[in-house]
Structure 1
Amino acid sequence: MLHKILNLATSNGFVKRTVLAHLNMSQYEIGPIGEILRHNLMTEWYYNIVFNKDVTVIMNNGDFTGTYEYLKAFCSDRLPFGIADIKKLKKSYSTDEIIEHYKKGRDNRNTSFKDLMRHEEDSLCNCTIFVPPSNSTRFFHQWQQQRRMWWRKFSAGPGRYSLTDIKKGDNNSQRVEIIVKYPWGSESLETITLGSHDRKLTNAQLEFQENKKTIHAHAIVSQINLTSMFMNSICDAFDETLVVNKARKLLRLHKKLAPFKISLAVSGADQSSTAELSDLAVYICRQLRTNHVSTLLLPSSNQLKLDAQFKQYDELGVPYTILLSDSTLKDGIVFLRNRETTLKEQVHVSQLVTYIDQLLKNY
């Protein structure tokens, strides 16, 4: 199944194979369509972490200690508050290590999402929340549930996400992981730790006054590997069902994550009507893009049969497709096809942009 997903992702530009000729093997890296997906993932992570309703969180500007000191003063020396950042870690691997990663990915033996991708650079999405020690345990458990709900919110199969048991670490730290289960095994997506962090802050910097007492802030750290988050989004969204004895492969990407929210399909009876409908498709596409809706209009939309167009858009994970037919030229009605149900509803061209805006507005 994993190889089916990789083949689909490769053929649709989410990932691309990189041939390592000197080692006679290949690895994967993020493709051009995948870059849009990765950007959307980072945006949703940013909104969830930085605009958290309960805690003031700001992005680190590269100097964690300086950002911490500023935020501490900004919050009038009152807890809680947090710092988020995206760290790029460059790594070097020996030839033997690269070969071992390749074998794991090829054989599905203890497969990790990170084993499938190039390893020269990893991006880690981090968030460190500083909380009073009296509330740290409660906040730790609350944070776990909130983060698990975030993963489930974007999932086509929410039931596959779970929390591991809490594990004890050094200096009385506690660690829990959010994992996802697939037919080929489980993958760790996010690590949440209470009581330790990799930033060098002194005891004096961690001191706060609470009810005339001096307390030392506790740290709750969330860490996500961006490559794992990216690969999980594709694997989670993959679906294959039988429709009239034919396999229908598609990506059920959440509409907030999908690289393209809307696509356009054209079905004209003759060359003349097809040309008019193509012009109308360009007009609609321009309107949607002006309204900041990521819209896909391909030259093949007036060359391929409808089934072939729908197949391509489903594999790209496009949630909705606008179908323009000969009747559209008479009454101004288009059909809006839902990727999930394949059902089509009628919408007038004059109301299309407003209606789509409402569809995409909510999660």
Structure 2
Amino acid sequence: MGTEAATGCISKLSELLRIHRFVMSRICTVNGTEAHMYSYGTPGVLLRKNILSEWWNHMVSLQENTFPVEASVVSPDLSDPGISIALGPREENGMVTDVGLTSSLSKDLLSSYLHSLEQVNRRLPLAQAAVGTCFQFSRTESEDNNSPQHRLLSKGLCQTQLVHQYYSPPGSASQNYDHWLSLRLRWWRQFSSKPSQFVTSNNDVPDGKTSSSIEYMFPWGQSTIETVCNHGDHDIKQLEEQSGLNHQARASRKMVYPHVIECQTSLEDAMAAFLADAFQEKQIFSTNKTTKQNGARMVLQFHPHLAPYNVSMVNTGSKSRELRLITTHWCQELREAGLRVLDTADVSLTQEAQFKRNDELGVPYTVVLNDQTLDTGVITIRHRDTMLKEQVHIAKFKERLVRYTSPV
């Protein structure tokens, strides 16, 4: 994509996110330097929740011998490249002490390794996972406002890291590393409307380690959204040296030091990638002159599992009270079926205006009830991606929507 096209895409996407309050940004000052602070409106909160839910299901719930760890935002290690702050005074000596706000969850996971190992009778493999807030405030001279990483949800003062560590027998570490890299790439691609935009690249790392990046080709440039690294057995041996406790594990009939294969991403990187991936500008083909003048429609073409809402309800017609009662009933039925429902039918907006709003929010399906629904029991389901409309009897539309949005 050319520079002008990329700039236009960024501008339109940013404006859409601002209007619907997906993301809000403000500038704060830390140690005399400006940094971004992000907050999220309802659509952004729901999108983040859905991404996290899919990651957790993929990396924890469906994996064998995977143990969640709760990480602390405060790190006693002042060498941590996070932000150092003063907390105190401490009660025992009345002195102010500095602590660090953690910049990585990796150390918290490693510190729980021995406990998790005991849970599986010291047998490999096992894994640990953590989700937590991290603080990063370090910039190099080469970083500026024109770098690709600056474009969307980047350079934030804090981020929500998603970290998974797999402890592998040394003999199969290379094979397991390839497995996790392939597994993670497939995870990103399965929720994408443009899977080929997600690619991998190798990283240069010190001897004894192997590292790759999963990158997304944003309109403004290619950027890393996840790293997969085989740290070898160095971290485990270092833990053993520091604690004096045996950190070896059993693989087949041998006692070995496991290799640590770590997958690390963040909710902010995932959200940026899926927002850029979902953004579409679709030309409206119509013989109507007014429609032609309105130009293209902007759509967030989210995968149904990630969309903030699965379904939105629209009422049109003169019998608003009766339609409101039916809508309220079926919204509850859909929620009980596990669907995320946006029930903001607004009679002050035209039907087309409500369709436009739903497209910009990324709602895959819009259900239209009108006066004829009261007579015939027929409703209309509008599909976001194709704009096609299908008529379904009201007794069957819940089953139809559940099937459309069910896991693949």
Say yes or no: TM over 0.5: yes
2:126 to 68, 81, 92: 81
Cα deviation code 1:136-155 (max 9, x no counterpart): 10111111111000000011
1:14 alignment partner in structure 2: 22
CA distance in 1, matches of 2:376, 2:328: 18
**Matched position secondary structure for 1:361:** coil
2:239 to 179, 201, 216: 201
CA distance in 2, matches of 1:182, 1:60: 32
> Per the alignment, do residues 127 and 57 of structure 1 end up closer, same or farther by CA in structure 2, a change over 3 Å counting?
same
1:34 to 44, 52, 56: 44
Q: How does 1:1-363 map to 2 (within 5 A)?
A: 1-18=9-26, 29-53=39-63, 55-62=64-71, 64=109, 67-92=112-137, 104=145, 109-112=146-149, 116-117=153-154, 119-165=156-202, 167-196=203-232, 201-202=239-240, 205-244=246-285, 245=292, 246-268=295-317, 270=318, 273-300=319-346, 302-363=347-408
Mapped contact 1:113–1:187 kept (Cα < 8 A): no
> Per the alignment, do residues 84 and 113 of structure 1 end up closer, same or farther by CA in structure 2, a change over 3 Å counting?
farther
> Per the alignment, do residues 299 and 24 of structure 1 end up closer, same or farther by CA in structure 2, a change over 3 Å counting?
farther
**Matched position secondary structure for 1:318:** coil
**Matched position secondary structure for 2:112:** helix
**Matched position secondary structure for 1:78:** coil
Shift of 1:316: 0.2
CA distance in 2, matches of 1:151, 1:295: 25
CA distance in 1, matches of 2:116, 2:327: 49
Q: Which amino acid aligns with 2:389?
A: K
Q: Which amino acid aligns with 1:324?
A: L
Shift of 1:342: 1.1
CA distance in 2, matches of 1:254, 1:332: 29
Deviates more, 1:16-25 or 1:236-245: 16-25
Mapped contact 2:124–2:251 kept (Cα < 8 A): no
**Matched position secondary structure for 2:250:** strand
Mapped contact 1:82–1:128 kept (Cα < 8 A): yes
CA distance in 1, matches of 2:252, 2:156: 49
CA distance in 2, matches of 1:75, 1:208: 10
Q: TM-score, normalised by structure 1?
A: 0.87
Deviates more, 1:125-134 or 1:65-74: 65-74
Shift of 1:158: 0.5
Mapped contact 1:123–1:227 kept (Cα < 8 A): yes
Higher-helix-fraction structure: 1
> Per the alignment, do residues 90 and 325 of structure 1 end up closer, same or farther by CA in structure 2, a change over 3 Å counting?
same
Shift of 1:2: 1.2
Mapped contact 1:29–1:117 kept (Cα < 8 A): no
Mapped contact 2:38–2:153 kept (Cα < 8 A): yes
**Matched position secondary structure for 1:257:** coil
Deviates more, 1:58-67 or 1:185-194: 58-67
Aligned residues: 349
Identify unmatched segments of 5+ residues in structure 2: 1-8, 72-107, 286-291
Cα deviation code 1:98-142 (max 9, x no counterpart): 9997x61xxxx2221576456221221100000001111011111
Mapped contact 1:288–1:353 kept (Cα < 8 A): yes
**Matched position secondary structure for 2:303:** coil
Deviates more, 1:42-51 or 1:21-30: 21-30
> Per the alignment, do residues 249 and 60 of structure 1 end up closer, same or farther by CA in structure 2, a change over 3 Å counting?
same
Q: Which amino acid aligns with 1:56?
A: N
Mapped contact 1:321–1:337 kept (Cα < 8 A): yes
Q: TM-score, normalised by structure 2?
A: 0.78
Q: Which amino acid aligns with 2:223?
A: E
Shift of 1:337: 1.1
CA distance in 2, matches of 1:115, 1:308: 27
CA distance in 1, matches of 2:377, 2:141: 58
Q: Which amino acid aligns with 2:217?
A: K
